[in-house]
Chains A and B, each alone.
Chain A
């Protein structure tokens, strides 16, 4: 059996990178004493995958891990033992048991919801005000960082939803194995629209949900599929 578990990456540890988060979850599993499955081979590791890597600097409200168990365990027991074994900033909120044939989370992932807190209220107001004008455009040019260079691309088709509220901008953005609109790209495009692209915009990024599509093609939380 496999256990899908929803966990948080808290604000205090938001600068921890994905590799370190992975290692911390692995060690948490080892502390919990839960019957997890290990890979064979010389350096055995726990069979675990993550729906998506969360960038350094971002918080996560509903990140998902996918753990292969060696024995059946109830979701309650899984949650209870893991929450004792995980640090306060990485607590689990839900666990769902699925069978071995359940598709890989990464392959199902379609989009993610973000809560972007703009630290400066004046900037927040300008950015929010620029949303309608930007969304009315045919194309929204943004800069995408590749390994070697900055590349221009159009993020219009990658934005599923966007609204501003006070100092927060809420966005639903495409996130698949092939393409993604990173929150930074969105903020870049929006600040160009607002005419403040020269300013540093301090943003606290929280990924609030990972989404897939149900039978009707609606976006729903990945763990509900």
Chain B
């Protein structure tokens, strides 16, 4: 049987075949032989998740735009597919030309969340690529990775040859050029990796040696060759207007999670919430101009035919001319029957006016993220939102005809007490009361309040990077308590699997040694860990035990100020000193102002011309 016959046979049997068939609108099929450089873009999760990801669309377009490079997509197959592929001995194939992963010159993973790490190993294995960098030969691809989890690259150091830290638009092309040079000049793998290390924002882990103290903490991270710098600075795209943004998106046949036009209106966030890693990693704040956005929206509408546009950023409400932008988009899209939605609404910046305009087109449920139940707790995490703010926005929404509200909270934040948990229930009750305060004739029927409480996971590059995560016992106790107090008519309560959050906490702040646990767990059968039905906590625990490592060391341990953290050699632009100051302020429940109102001296100001709000004089 030839490969195509085998694939056909598999597709007849597998569930949800459309996620494997490709051929979607706007998926570039470039002539293989005419492009000297072949990039395999790997999203280490299912098709539906990957195709919802904006970063994929940006880099896919960016690489395919160059005449000399092509990019094809790979996704993590579901378990039934993996089994069938194994049975028929079919390797992991690209969506476009159905070529195996190891036929590409560069294989690039995007690291969006820690629980996708085992999928990386599975995809490498299925793609015929040796798992560990040290075992790869001259004919194997260079395996690279980028995305938020690349900021602590250490847990994946054994498996990834080079990491791209920070914004990908510029460094992607530079990296591809270096790898093309390897191919054209027949340079060795080692030389190529050293050349990659010379690029700003590229970290090659094999060029660093890590030593540990007897207690298991890091003693030192030392470059072992002149090409490797002591610290690797993240890349920042300063001007979003001149940087690449795709004018067409691939349009899946089958429904994916975000099946619409995503318009990135800005990058970064000035709020400074202390739990938020993205808020630090994507600093400073940069906006796309309204003209550029309108132009992109029209082009994307024509090239995709989508019926919805969502504005995407960490904090869309902070976009400086949001009402004008929405009004203009609505005006232009009305004829084309395209609706505009605002996904990550910040409750203190949504204008009533824009709420009313959104409603003209489509009324979806409104999302608010107070994150914590009491003012004290919100001050600890620097979530600059008051109860009065929230209730006002909720009232506006109910008066505007919404009846469905989602509230997002976190539990397990540093210093949290029972009172803070009860505060969540109080807030839910007050939201319900606001609904009933609106006269019956004016409000929409069918009140639905959804309260989602996730488990707090301390992340690197945040003021909580030193903090212990609650133990599993504590988390489960808190969830039981929440279940009781949130047993309120009209409220649906959702909570997060604590075991997954525990593993997430281990890998988020893991060191190089924890890579062995990942490999062991994957060998035991852990894959698709982000999915409840496939997550196997028992196997993860076995893997930790067999590798002689304690998960509590990573998740539940309080770090000292002078401890060398495994990611200290990566420079996010924000200094460790600033994060420590923020940590101390959080302990006093002291807030820090939004840095648009004045620079807080986070460290980015050291990089000249990068932050528009920076005050170079600040410490």
Contact partner of B305 among A13, A30, A42, A43, CB < 8 A? A30
Known contacts A27-B305, A31-B303, A85-B305; decide if A44 and B23 are in contact (CB<8 Å): no
CA distance A38 to B336 in the complex (A): 10
CA distance A27 to B307 in the complex (A): 8
- Whether B18 and A24, one on each chain, are in contact in the complex, defined by CB atoms closer than 8 angstroms, is no
Known contacts A27-B304, A27-B306; decide if A86 and B25 are in contact (CB<8 Å): yes
> Which of B120-128, B250-258, B606-614 forms part of the interface with chain A?
B250-258
Task: Note all chain A residues with C-beta closer than 8 A to B304.
Answer: 27, 31
CA distance A28 to B306 in the complex (A): 9
Interface string of B254-290 (1 = CB under 8 A from A): 1100000000000000000000000000000000000
- Whether A26 and B23, one on each chain, are in contact in the complex, defined by CB atoms closer than 8 angstroms, is no
- Whether A88 and B337, one on each chain, are in contact in the complex, defined by CB atoms closer than 8 angstroms, is no
- Whether B305 and A16, one on each chain, are in contact in the complex, defined by CB atoms closer than 8 angstroms, is no
- Whether A31 and B21, one on each chain, are in contact in the complex, defined by CB atoms closer than 8 angstroms, is no
Known contacts A20-B255, A27-B306; decide if A87 and B25 are in contact (CB<8 Å): yes
- Whether B337 and A16, one on each chain, are in contact in the complex, defined by CB atoms closer than 8 angstroms, is no
Interface string of A85-101 (1 = CB under 8 A from B): 11111000000000000
Contact partner of A43 among B22, B253, B255, B362, CB < 8 A? B362
- Whether B254 and A30, one on each chain, are in contact in the complex, defined by CB atoms closer than 8 angstroms, is no
Task: Note all chain B residues with C-beta closer than 8 A to A87.
Answer: 23-25
- Whether A13 and B9, one on each chain, are in contact in the complex, defined by CB atoms closer than 8 angstroms, is no
Contact partner of B18 among A16, A30, A33, A204, CB < 8 A? A16
- The answer to whether the Cβ of B90 comes within 8 Å of any Cβ in the partner chain is no
What residue in chain A is nearest B19 (Cβ atoms)? A15
Of B23, B301, B302, the most chain A CB neighbours within 10 A belong to: B23
Contact partner of B11 among A15, A20, A33, CB < 8 A? A15
Known contacts A17-B18, A57-B12, A202-B12; decide if A30 and B24 are in contact (CB<8 Å): no
Nearest chain A CB to B445's CB is how many angstroms away?
A: 15
CA distance A154 to B342 in the complex (A): 56
What residue in chain B is nearest A87 (Cβ atoms)? B25
Task: Note all chain A residues with C-beta closer than 8 A to B187.
Answer: none
Task: Note all chain A residues with C-beta closer than 8 A to B11.
Answer: 15
Nearest chain A CB to B253's CB is how many angstroms away?
A: 5
Task: Note all chain A residues with C-beta closer than 8 A to B24.
Answer: 87
What residue in chain B is nearest A13 (Cβ atoms)? B23
- Whether A29 and B305, one on each chain, are in contact in the complex, defined by CB atoms closer than 8 angstroms, is yes
CA distance A85 to B303 in the complex (A): 8
Contact partner of A16 among B25, B251, B254, B336, CB < 8 A? B254
- The answer to whether the Cβ of B230 comes within 8 Å of any Cβ in the partner chain is no
Interface string of B110-121 (1 = CB under 8 A from A): 000000000000
Interface string of A143-159 (1 = CB under 8 A from B): 00000000000000000
Contact partner of A24 among B8, B17, B25, B337, CB < 8 A? B25
Nearest chain B CB to A150's CB is how many angstroms away?
A: 21
- The answer to whether the Cβ of A12 comes within 8 Å of any Cβ in the partner chain is yes
Task: Note all chain B residues with C-beta closer than 8 A to A89.
Answer: 23
- Whether A20 and B254, one on each chain, are in contact in the complex, defined by CB atoms closer than 8 angstroms, is yes
Task: Note all chain B residues with C-beta closer than 8 A to A85.
Answer: 305
CA distance A42 to B401 in the complex (A): 14
Number of interface residues of B (CB under 8 A): 25
CA distance A24 to B307 in the complex (A): 12
- Whether B337 and A38, one on each chain, are in contact in the complex, defined by CB atoms closer than 8 angstroms, is yes
Nearest chain A CB to B26's CB is how many angstroms away?
A: 8
Contact partner of A13 among B253, B306, B337, CB < 8 A? B253
Task: Note all chain B residues with C-beta closer than 8 A to A202.
Answer: 9, 12
Known contacts A17-B18, A33-B302, A86-B25; decide if A24 and B253 are in contact (CB<8 Å): yes
Task: Note all chain A residues with C-beta closer than 8 A to B336.
Answer: 30
Contact partner of A27 among B8, B23, B25, B362, CB < 8 A? B25
Nearest chain A CB to B262's CB is how many angstroms away?
A: 16
Known contacts A20-B254, A202-B9; decide if A26 and B305 are in contact (CB<8 Å): yes
CA distance A202 to B1 in the complex (A): 14
CA distance A27 to B255 in the complex (A): 13
Task: Note all chain A residues with C-beta closer than 8 A to B251.
Answer: 24, 27
CA distance A85 to B301 in the complex (A): 12
- Whether A13 and B21, one on each chain, are in contact in the complex, defined by CB atoms closer than 8 angstroms, is yes
- Whether A44 and B337, one on each chain, are in contact in the complex, defined by CB atoms closer than 8 angstroms, is yes
Task: Note all chain A residues with C-beta closer than 8 A to B17.
Answer: 15, 56
Of A31, A44, A202, the most chain B CB neighbours within 10 A belong to: A31
Interface string of B2-19 (1 = CB under 8 A from A): 000000110110000110
Task: Note all chain A residues with C-beta closer than 8 A to B8.
Answer: 204
What residue in chain B is nearest A11 (Cβ atoms)? B8
A38-60, CB < 8 A from B: 38, 42-44, 56-57
B307-337, CB < 8 A from A: 307, 336-337
CA distance A44 to B253 in the complex (A): 20
Task: Note all chain B residues with C-beta closer than 8 A to A15.
Answer: 11, 17-18, 21
CA distance A98 to B22 in the complex (A): 34
CA distance A26 to B304 in the complex (A): 11
Nearest chain B CB to A42's CB is how many angstroms away?
A: 7
Nearest chain A CB to B264's CB is how many angstroms away?
A: 21
CA distance A29 to B25 in the complex (A): 13
Task: Note all chain A residues with C-beta closer than 8 A to B302.
Answer: 31, 33
CA distance A21 to B23 in the complex (A): 13
Of B22, B254, B301, B336, the most chain A CB neighbours within 10 A belong to: B254
- Whether B305 and A20, one on each chain, are in contact in the complex, defined by CB atoms closer than 8 angstroms, is no
Task: Note all chain B residues with C-beta closer than 8 A to A57.
Answer: 12
- Whether A12 and B21, one on each chain, are in contact in the complex, defined by CB atoms closer than 8 angstroms, is yes
Nearest chain A CB to B18's CB is how many angstroms away?
A: 5
CA distance A99 to B307 in the complex (A): 28
Task: Note all chain B residues with C-beta closer than 8 A to A12.
Answer: 21-23
CA distance A202 to B8 in the complex (A): 10
- Whether B18 and A31, one on each chain, are in contact in the complex, defined by CB atoms closer than 8 angstroms, is no
What residue in chain A is nearest B14 (Cβ atoms)? A15
What residue in chain B is nearest A44 (Cβ atoms)? B337
What residue in chain A is nearest B254 (Cβ atoms)? A20
Task: Note all chain B residues with C-beta closer than 8 A to A42.
Answer: 362
Nearest chain A CB to B403's CB is how many angstroms away?
A: 15
What residue in chain B is nearest A32 (Cβ atoms)? B305
Task: Note all chain B residues with C-beta closer than 8 A to A16.
Answer: 18, 21, 253-254
Interface string of B74-99 (1 = CB under 8 A from A): 00000000000000000000000000
CA distance A72 to B304 in the complex (A): 24
Nearest chain A CB to B25's CB is how many angstroms away?
A: 4
Report 17 cross-chain contacts, Cβ distance below 8 Å, ordered by A residue. Answer: A10-B23, A12-B22, A13-B18, A13-B21, A15-B21, A17-B18, A20-B254, A21-B253, A24-B253, A26-B305, A27-B25, A27-B251, A30-B306, A31-B303, A87-B23, A89-B23, A202-B12
Q: What 4 A-B pairs come out closest when comparing CB atoms?
A: A27-B305, A30-B305, A15-B17, A31-B305
Can you name 6 extra interface pairs (CB under 8 A) apart from A27-B307, A30-B336, A56-B17? A12-B21, A12-B23, A23-B255, A27-B251, A27-B304, A31-B302
